[in-house]
């Protein structure tokens, strides 16, 4: 394994309610279950860590009960926090409603994770073999986007930088987004986010525009398509659509985070990009068969899954 993943993103406390369907306006539903869990960027960090890469967190956690809860969750996964707690506020939270079709709806409230400054990030150092990751959530916050963008642009040229624009990509000012994309080594986004950045079109054309017009220094882009898998295009013009795996999904929360974390971990240990995408597809497929956003599998579980697929046929329905 080469270096660490330095995650400069946001982590929040998720309040997860399971319901049969979203209530109609003005109506009420009783949840079948409730859980308080670590969420946000924590899900991606867990996926990276469980697949063998050391992870450290350089974002901001709060000084109240939410921050304490997150620090305990980080410690349980062996993830070191590099910055001291915010002296100003607690960490934020997100209400996640998971319906019976495994889809999810979110309402979030920002906290300490939404405020970053270069002074707060001073303890975050990047070693020669490290990888760096951030997401669109941190860049969408007015109190963090400028400092984080300056910090990203100051990274050593040889440091791989991975960016996930997330569903809030429309909340990131275009000049900020353009600066971050210009420094991106690997872009991972879903089909909607890709079209928001590069315009509509078939996945091959959108991926080409992402590289040619928006990510001039990138080694490649990954466009995720949920259960269908992902499309990967490299800077040399080669491209593949890597098919997903058919599983019985019970919770899609965190599937994209799991995909990115597993992909980065595989790349960092020298796995070729198309094979790393296959590995990430398997990780995401396993994660949606489990409850919770931080349900990423271990490397051993992914390898076992892939061995079963290879032995029994790619298109067969898999019970992970």
Task: Give the pLDDT confidence score for residue 317 in this predicted structure.
Answer: 38
Q: Residue 230 pairs with which residues in a beta bridge?
A: 224, 242
Percent of the chain topping pLDDT 90: 85
Task: Give the pLDDT confidence score for residue 313 in this predicted structure.
Answer: 64
- C-alpha 139/C-alpha 129 separation (Å) is 24
Give the tens place of pLDDT for each residue, 77-104. Answer: 999 999 999 988 999 999 989 888 877 7
Percent of the chain topping pLDDT 70: 97
Cβ atoms of 134 and 148 closer than 8 Å: yes
pLDDT surpassing 70 at residue 2: no
Cβ atoms of 214 and 189 closer than 8 Å: no
Mean pLDDT of 197-226: 97
- C-alpha 53/C-alpha 262 separation (Å) is 9
Give the tens place of pLDDT for each residue, 259-318. Answer: 999 999 999 999 999 999 999 999 999 999 998 767 899 999 999 999 988 877 654 433
Least confident of 59-63, 100-104, 180-184: 100-104
Cβ atoms of 277 and 225 closer than 8 Å: no
Task: Give the pLDDT confidence score for residue 315 in this predicted structure.
Answer: 47
Task: Give the pLDDT confidence score for residue 318 in this predicted structure.
Answer: 35
pLDDT surpassing 50 at residue 320: no
Task: Give the pLDDT confidence score for residue 314 in this predicted structure.
Answer: 55
- Give the contacts of 276 (CB within 8 A, at least 6 positions apart): 262, 263, 266, 267
Task: Give the pLDDT confidence score for residue 100 in this predicted structure.
Answer: 85
Give the tens place of pLDDT for each residue, 145-179. Answer: 999 999 999 999 999 999 999 999 999 999 999 99
Task: Give the pLDDT confidence score for residue 207 in this predicted structure.
Answer: 98
Give the tens place of pLDDT for each residue, 214-266. Answer: 999 999 999 999 999 999 999 999 999 999 999 998 877 789 999 999 999 99
Cβ atoms of 267 and 278 closer than 8 Å: no
């Amino acid at each position: 394994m080469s270096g660490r993943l330095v995650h400069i993103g946001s982590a929040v406390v998720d309040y997860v309610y399971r319901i049969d369907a979203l209530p109609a306006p003005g109506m009420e539903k009783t949840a079948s279950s409730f859980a308080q869990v670590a969420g946000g960027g924590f899900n991606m960090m867990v996926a990276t860590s469980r697949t063998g890469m050391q992870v450290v967190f350089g974002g901001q956690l709060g000084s109240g009960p939410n921050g304490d809860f997150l620090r305990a969750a980080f410690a349980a996964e062996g993830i070191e926090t590099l910055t001291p707690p915010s002296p100003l506020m607690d960490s934020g939270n997100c209400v996640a409603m998971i319906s019976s079709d495994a889809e999810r709806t979110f309402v979030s409230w920002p906290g300490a994770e939404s405020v970053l400054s270069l002074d707060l990030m001073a303890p975050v150092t990047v070693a020669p073999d490290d990888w760096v990751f951030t997401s669109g959530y941190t860049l969408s916050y007015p109190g963090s986007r400028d400092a984080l963008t300056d910090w990203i642009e100051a990274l050593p040229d040889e440091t791989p930088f991975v960016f996930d624009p997330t569903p809030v990509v429309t909340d990131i000012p275009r000049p900020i987004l353009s600066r971050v994309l210009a420094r991106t080594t690997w872009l991972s986004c879903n089909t909607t986010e890709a079209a928001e950045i590069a315009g509509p079109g078939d996945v091959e054309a959108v991926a080409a525009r992402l590289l040619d017009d928006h990510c001039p220094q990138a080694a490649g882009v990954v466009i995720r398509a949920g259960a269908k898998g992902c499309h990967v295009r490299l800077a040399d013009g080669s491209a593949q659509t890597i098919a997903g795996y058919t599983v019985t999904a019970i919770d899609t929360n965190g599937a994209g985070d799991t995909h990115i974390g597993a992909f980065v971990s595989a790349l960092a240990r020298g796995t070729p990009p198309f094979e790393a995408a296959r590995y990430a597809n398997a990780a995401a497929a396993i994660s949606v068969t489990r409850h919770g956003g931080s349900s990423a599998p271990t490397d051993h579980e992914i390898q076992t899954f892939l061995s079963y697929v290879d032995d029994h046929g790619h298109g067969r329905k898999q019970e992970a």
